[in-house]
Structure 1
Amino acid sequence: MKFIKWLWKLVWHPRSLMRPSDKGLFDPFVPITSLKRVENEYQADYKLTNVDEDFERIMSGYGSANGDFDENVEQLPGFLLFKAVVIVVALVLGVRLIGLQITQGEENYSLAEGNRLETKPTPAPRGLIFDRKGVPLVRNEPSFTIELDPADFPKDKTKRQEYLAKLSSVLGRSVEELSTLILPNLNKETVALEEGIDRDRALSLEVKLFGLHGIVLNKTPSRRYGDLPGLGHLIGYIGKVTAEDLEDRQELLSTSLIGKSGVERSYDTELQGLPGTETLEIDSLGRAVRPIGSTLPVPGKSLILGLDAEIQRVTAEALRASIEKNGATSGAAVAMDVRSGDIIAMVSFPTFDNNLFSSSVNSEERKKILSDPGAPLINRAIAGQYPSGSTIKPFVASAALQERTISASTVIDTSEGKIVVGQTTFSDWKTHGRSNVKQAIAESNNIFFFALGGGYKQVTGLGIERLKNYLEKFGFGAATGIDLGEGAEAKGLVPSPDWKKRVKKESWFLGDTYNTSIGQGNLLVTPLQLARATASIANGGKLLQPRVVKTVLAANASQTKDRDPVILKEQIMDEEVLQIVREGMRQAVLSGSARSFSSLPIEVAAKTGTAQTSKSKDKTHSWFTAFAPYNNPEIVVSVIVEGGGEGFAVAAPVAKNTIERYFNLPLTPIVPANPVQENQ
């Protein structure tokens, strides 16, 4: 009963439980200057001395106030309400207490100690890249980054200089360089001082930098590319994500590494994978105390290329040797499967080591590459644009045969060796006499192809509009669509009267048509365009979309299936037309300008070319394009050596080594070419 009385006072007269002195000292509603007055008014209004009597009187109607607790007390409306409130509050507090002590006990303990939980993303392993035989072309390996937490960078000028001096002595970088790196980035979460560090150097730096607050050694993923010539242009490299990248692709993290060029760029989404998370308990000093939980990252998909690493190596070595031995400057070579469009080899020279662009190490070497006048970063196989020289002639012949302006039996007398138009003379590189189309292809007869394009004697020429239309059917003048990223390749140029009027403000003349017919003038092609067009002659008229990646392989895939070839045009020419042209290219090997291939046990069909340039008439570009085997074609190879000279002597040996390696034949040594004039 005493307890019930106390509760009753607590609910209805709480001030009755206070001592007189308490009412003044602790009542926040009573000014200190009026304590006595308020105390008197309080006692008068509420009759504090009669509180006990009030309780006895109220209780008397429900039972004995002086005896044991009567069950009638439980019928009091106020008591029942109060009892319900107490029970509900007790239940709520009990449930909350269980949650705090059991479910969240460890977390709350950590928070009580001043710790916090921090969740960080864990990068997904980037997908790997293999050649067609499973040879790895790239691998993932850990590297380390030295980072500075700007919050720990000294604010005092003297201490800051001491700090920078210590960093300078350890990292081997000047104080000025470090200041330029750190000071503008003090508002960032971290500042990377050195990246791409191997394990041994990382351990050494960790010891030497001990005691410098804010220096953290972080393990980061890195990419290591194989020591294979030409991989820089084909596979490319990775680098840090930019603000524009983060805006365009919401799935990326600020710490992501993404493809910057080549296959790494064009297949970055497949290679990326999905990051995981790691939750750590961090103490008040920013140190990791213990792991709390994690989710595993999903590895990126791997890629199988159509590339053959050994053929790539042989092609690159042959191209380099030909360039160096013939005093040339640069060049490119492409080998492609005529059936699928798979790139078997692609080389551009000069080349570069893509490992230099995947970390901040060797920044001086990168600067040298970027400032090199030879432009080694340009992939000349797809972005180099050159006059085609005589390699265009098989396609001009195809157009004339398709349009029936000539037939296989048409003979043109070219014994004069020149055509005079007004005051301009269009000469041949030598006199050929009477010739049909097969002989004209084999011997690279300029006069014959002047006639096919612009007309001569009994032959009505195609004219530039029809010629342009057929060259575009073979893919010239447009990007091939190779999977190396948008904007990576050049379109080349098939000139026309409209183009010349718009760009040069000049009229079109018959001589322009003649020049276009032999691959001179304003006609520009890329090595890849020439390779694809040659493949169309070899495969019966299919225009393929070239591709570097043959298969995209999921991380857990147990089986692989090559992607279907992309055929852009099924039949760009009649088969009988293409057969005549193929015979002409085969004749070039048997008795014409590509006779050096006649000794091979594999039958090859080919076309040489020598293109004059606007820079120097003495330094001509050396071209060569070929396919093999002749009767059942598998591979096409197209080569250009800039400033190399005659096509048969400089570019042809490179293609020969590529074909020899493809068919597992002994390699013919590359030797300097003799300065003998040959066909264009």
Structure 2
Amino acid sequence: MELKFSKKFKITQSKSSNKQNNVVLLKSDLKHNVKKVLKSSPEYSPGSPWNYLVAFMLFFGLFAILLWQLSALQITNGEEMLAKSENNQVRVESIPAYRGVMFDRNGTKLVENVASVGLYIMIDKYIEDGEVNNTLLEEISNTLGGILGTHWKNISDDKKTEYASILERVITIHGESPYFTDILIASDLSNEEVIQIKASSEKLLGIYIDDGSKRSYPYKNILSALLGYTGDVTAEDLEYIDYLNSTDVVGRTGLEREYDEQLAGEDGKMAWEVDALGKKISEEGLTLSEPVSGKNLYLTLDMDMQKKLYQALQSGTKNSKATGGAGIIEDVNSGEIISMVTYPSYDNNLFIGGISIKDYTKLLNDKTNPLMDRAIAAQVPAGSTFKTMVATAALDAGAITKYTQYTSYAGYKFSNGALFQEYHNHSYGTLNVVGALTVSSNIYFCELIRHWDMNSLVPYLDKFGIGRVTGIDIPGEMAGRVPSPANKMLLANSTSPWLEPVWYPEGDSCNSVIGQGIGLVTPIQMSNWVAAIANEGTLYKPHIAKYFEDENKNRVDIPIEILQNNIAKAEAFNIAKEGMWSAVNGNGASISSLANLGVVVAAKTGTAEFGTVDSKGNYEHTHAWVTGFFPYDKPKYSFSIFLEDGGESLNAVRIMREMITWMVKEGKI
């Protein structure tokens, strides 16, 4: 009877220290071989005492062999491996994990991994008696610098040199992990660079080239602010991010950064026997651990809607001669972002492998600021869109009812004689709150706050999310600012000393409730508060990630989060919504161009003034806003369109009209 012994071992290496290998015999193999031998015996019969004795003897024999082999590994082979390790004859390299890709809600691939060539350096070739050989490294750096000049001049997103000095990186990373660590020092090499490096291999001790992959972003500018980009890992990354290896890439901005750990996966480990120069002796290495692929990420975005909104915003920005703009469409019942664009934008493929100084300087010096994600980071006055929150709050607090009336007339003055007027100095006569929202009356809301109190309004603004980030899963969001007496005092005593440290109950309060003054909002805050009005009181945390899926198709959903419940009573929301409906569909509607589009829309415009004032008392520059929701009877989507220095709000309305018309035609509603 022949005994067969399985030599399948699992060798694992600590990712953080690389100090030791644990050798483990898989128990399942031992059990399998015992059963196989027993069944092959002619005397085998289940339940026979003789068979139990045979089984015991076989098991004892196999166990003795196991002990002997473990001893050989630990003593004989261990000494041999240690000797090889000390003579730099055994190396452990990372097997890069497949980085997860991203898809839209319908399965359209938004990110790809494509073949790329990377350049690596073996740190231990430059270590003598525990110290880095600076002279040798400088020689290597100079040799590579002649080949990879553009790579060493590339800079990262944080404006620090990413490849400027091999010496600096080796010293820093060796201090963090001085155990046979390789470093990725250049990625995405060109064919010409690969040829030159191979031709200079005798001068490049411990330098090797290996195949890998890089990110590719097919939709470029349309998605760059959302997806972001990756970069080669730095010493600082290794110090603060415990799941990284020195040969990894890491998410730098956008979703690549927000969900980097889930996308990255886990690198595997491979042991190689190498010669004194670090070249592999054998073609086959020993797999110590298999890589675990990163998870794929499915987004809430509809890519068709994303492309259309970007195109509409792009043309609208150019037609209005605006500096830039942003557009958002959000699911009012979940906080899912269906489309979110910023314009102008940039091609995130430029950053793969490191962006050149020329390209980065061009982006930095562009006065339209393409690196800024205006959807989450543009902080500007809201203009008359702010009135939607003020109306809801005043109705809920009992400061007004649906039937409370104030009169709009030319020549309206504060008690000190200062003039306060309607936009373009209109006069609308006697109005209730629905009528005031319909025509966007400044004087009505000024009278409202004069009879109420700014400090009573502020808690409602907080509930709607003003002055704090929404928490959307894109890095770089700004908080805006609540127009409160406390914040004016803070500004006057710090960054804005030209402000008087006094809150004027008429001037400051009236400017604030019509979306002027010191209050600042972002487009994402606006679409989110309007979503809360549409769903009558729930402020969701907006999000772009929908769920993760691993290589076995196991799905993990991103939970829906609620930021605020019960902001106001349903009656208050219903009246405010009626006013927004009337602004589009009622008599004297100020946004009638959004009517009769195949879906009933409720909306509010805003024209936020800034800059210098002309001789007629008008500001020379204005931001253009429109926000709202649809369908009116059963709200599904909220939206906000922002044009920076975009003139009249009608310019923003035209963009949304084009978008809604397209959505109706394409069956997206």
Bin the TM-score by the shorter chain: 0.7 to 0.9
Q: Give 1:276 deviation, angstroms.
A: 0.8
The one of 565, 568, 573 aligned to 2:568: 573
Instruction: Give the alignment partner of residue 590 of structure 1, picking from 582, 585, 594.
Output: 585
2:596 is aligned with 1:599? yes
Q: The residue matched to 1:418 in structure 2 has which SS?
A: coil
**Residue identity matched to 2:461:** L
| TM-fit CA distance, 1:361 | 5.2
Aligned partners of 2:538 and 2:564 also within 8 Å:
yes
C-alpha separation in 2, matches of 1:482 and 1:446? 32
Amino acid at match of 1:576: E
- SS state of the match for residue 288, structure 1? coil
1:432 corresponds to which residue?
Answer: 428
| SS of the residue 1:621 aligns to | strand
* Residues 131-161 of structure 1, C-alpha deviations (whole Å, 9 max, x = no match): 11111111122311245668699x999xx99
Provide the C-alpha distance between the structure 2 equivalents of 1:97 and 1:298, rounded to a whole number of angstroms. 28
Write the distance in 2 (CA, Å) between the matches of 1:518 and 1:600: 28
Structure showing greater Rg? 1
SS of equivalent to 2:281: strand
Equivalent position of 1:311 in the other structure? 305
Q: Would the alpha carbon gap of residues 445 and 175 (structure 1) be closer, same or farther in structure 2, given more than 3 Å must change?
A: closer
One-letter code of the match for 2:656? A
CA 1:242–1:312 in 2, change beyond 3 Å: closer, same or farther?
A: same
Q: Is the 8 A contact 2:465 2:529 kept in 1?
A: yes
Q: Say whether residues 1:342 and 2:336 are aligned partners.
A: yes
Corresponding residue SS for 1:472: helix
1:197 aligns with 2:170: no
Question: Which position in structure 2 is the counterpart of 1:137?
Answer: 110
Task: Give the aligned partner of residue 271 of structure 1.
Answer: 263
Q: Aligned partners of 2:611, 2:594: CA distance in 1, in Å? A: 31
Distance 2:85 2:395 in 1: 89
Identify if the C-alpha distance between structure 1 residues 441 and 108 changes in structure 2 by more than 3 Å, giving closer, same or farther: closer
2-structure distance, mates of 1:629, 1:446? 27
State the secondary structure of the residue aligned to 2:527: helix
Structure 1 residue 257 displacement after superposition:
1.7
Aligned to 1:445: 441
Distance 1:98 1:387, change over 3 A: closer
Matched, 1:259 2:251: yes
User: 1:196, 1:360 within 8 Å by CA — same for their partners in 2?
Assistant: no
- Displacement of 1:664: 3.6
Say yes or no: does 1:236 pair with 2:233. no
Residues 120 and 428 (structure 1), Cα distance of their counterparts in 2 relative to 1, 3 Å cut: same
Alignment of 1:289 with 2:277, yes or no, is no
Counterpart contact for 1:314–1:657, Cα < 8 Å: no
Deviations 1:310-343 (A, max 9, x none): 1111111111111112211111111111111011
In 1, Cα distance between equivalents of 2:82 and 2:164: 43
Equivalent-residue separation in structure 1 for 2:474 and 2:134 (angstroms):
51
Cα distance per residue 1:596-622 (max 9 Å; x no partner): 111301111111110001467211000
Report if the CA contact (8 A) 2:221-2:348 is conserved. no
Match of 1:218 in 2: 210
1:143 counterpart SS class: strand
CA distance in 1, matches of 2:152, 2:480: 49
Counterparts of residues 641-652 of structure 1 (less than 5 Å): 641-648=643-650, 650-652=651-653
8 Å contact kept, 2:227–2:254 = yes
Q: Is 1:499 paired with 2:495?
A: no
1:316-335 equivalences under 5 Å are 316-335=310-329
Please list, as runs of the form range in 1=range in 2, the aligned pairs for 1:347-366 lying within 5 A after superposition.
347-360=341-354, 362-366=356-360
What secondary structure does 1:223 align onto? strand
TM-score scaled by length of structure 1? 0.75
User: What secondary structure sits across from 2:221 in the alignment?
Assistant: coil
Post-superposition CA distance 1:519-568 (Å, at most 9, x none): 0011111111110010011112111111111112233125x464442122
Partner of 1:658: 659
Deviations 1:151-203 (A, max 9, x none): 699x999xx99x999767755669999997456667577786642225x4565
Aligned partners of 2:273, 2:603: CA distance in 1, in Å?
Answer: 69
**Compared CA separation, residues 571 and 489, structure 1 to 2 (3 A):** same
Q: Tell me if structure 2 keeps the 8 A contact 1:396–1:452.
A: no
| Alpha-carbon distance change, 464 to 216 in structure 1, aligned in 2, over 3 angstroms | same
1:628 lines up with 2:630 in the alignment: yes
- Separation in 1 of the partners of 2:151 and 2:115? 27
Kindly report which structure 2 residues correspond to 1:62-77, keeping only aligned pairs within 5 A, or say none: none
The separation in 2 between residues aligned to 1:100 and 1:512, in whole angstroms, is 80
Q: 1:547 aligns with which of 533, 543, 548?
A: 543
Shift of 1:665: 4.6
Question: CA contact under 8 A between 1:442 and 1:593: conserved in structure 2?
Answer: yes
Quote the offset at 1:392 in angstroms: 0.6
Distance 1:564 1:289, change over 3 A: same
Q: Is the 8 A contact 1:637 1:658 kept in 2?
A: no
Deviation at 1:421, TM superposition (A): 3.0
Query: Does structure 1 conserve the Cα–Cα contact (< 8 Å) formed by 2:436 and 2:444?
Result: yes
Aligned-CA RMSD value: 3.7
* Residue number in structure 1 paired with 2:53: none
Deviations 1:51-101 (A, max 9, x none): xxxxxxxxxxxxxxxxxxxxxxxxxxxxxxxxxxxxxxxxxxxx7999499
Contact kept, 8 Å, 1:100 with 1:108, in 2: the verdict is no
Alignment equivalent of 2:642, drawn from 631, 640, 643: 640
Deviates more, 1:595-604 or 1:213-222: 213-222
1:417–1:432 CA contact under 8 A, matched in 2: no
Structure 1 contact 228–309 (Cα < 8 Å) conserved = no
Once residues 554 and 666 of structure 1 are traced to their aligned partners in structure 2, the CA distance between those partners, rounded to angstroms, is: 32
Residue 610 of structure 2, aligned match among 608, 613, 617: 613
Q: Which amino acid aligns with 1:604?
A: V
Assess if the C-alpha contact under 8 Å between 1:229 and 1:313 holds in 2. no
Moved more, 101-110 or 619-628: 101-110
Counterpart in 2 of 1:411? 405
Task: Look up the SS of the partner of 2:342 in the other structure.
Answer: strand
Q: Which residue of 2 aligns with 1:52?
A: none
Partner in structure 1 of residue 33 of structure 2: none
Please give the alpha-carbon distance, in whole angstroms, between the structure 2 residues aligned to 1:309 and 1:585.
29
Amino acid at match of 1:547: H
Q: Structure 1 136/451 Cα, relative in aligned 2: closer, same or farther at 3 Å?
A: same
| 2:95 aligned residue | 122
Deviations 1:28-57 (A, max 9, x none): xxxxxxxxxxxxxxxxxxxxxxxxxxxxxx
Give the 3 Å change call, closer, same or farther, for CA 583–118 of structure 1 in structure 2. same
Whether contact under 8 Å (2:273, 2:280) holds in the other structure is: yes
CA contact (8 A) 1:196 1:361 kept: no
Unmatched segments (≥5 aa) in structure 2 = 1-67, 128-132, 155-160, 175-180, 494-500, 614-618
For residue 399 of structure 1, what is the aligned residue in structure 2? 393
From 480, 483, 503, the counterpart of 2:473: 483
Aligned residues: 562
- Distance change in 2, residues 1:327/1:275 (3 Å): same
Aligned pair in 2 of structure 1 residues 228, 546: CA closer, same or farther (>3 Å)?
same
Alignment partner of 2:521 out of 521, 525, 541: 525
CA contact (8 A) 2:626 2:653 kept: yes
Return the alpha-carbon distance in structure 2 between the equivalents of residues 108 and 399 of structure 1. 74
Find the residue that maps to 1:613 and give its secondary structure.
strand
- Secondary structure (helix, strand or coil) at the match of 2:414 reads strand
Distance 1:474 1:111, change over 3 A: closer
Q: Are the aligned partners of 2:90 and 2:272 in contact in 1 as well (CA < 8 Å)?
A: yes
The residue that corresponds to 2:63 in the other structure is none
**Bigger CA drift: 414-423 or 589-598?**
414-423
**Counterparts in 2 of 1:561 and 1:165: CA distance versus 1, 3 Å:** closer
Q: What SS class does the counterpart of residue 421 from structure 1 fall into?
A: coil
Structure 2 distance, partners of 1:319, 1:589, is: 21
- Report how far residue 390 of structure 1 moved: 0.4
Contact 2:611–2:621 at 8 Å: present in 1 too? no
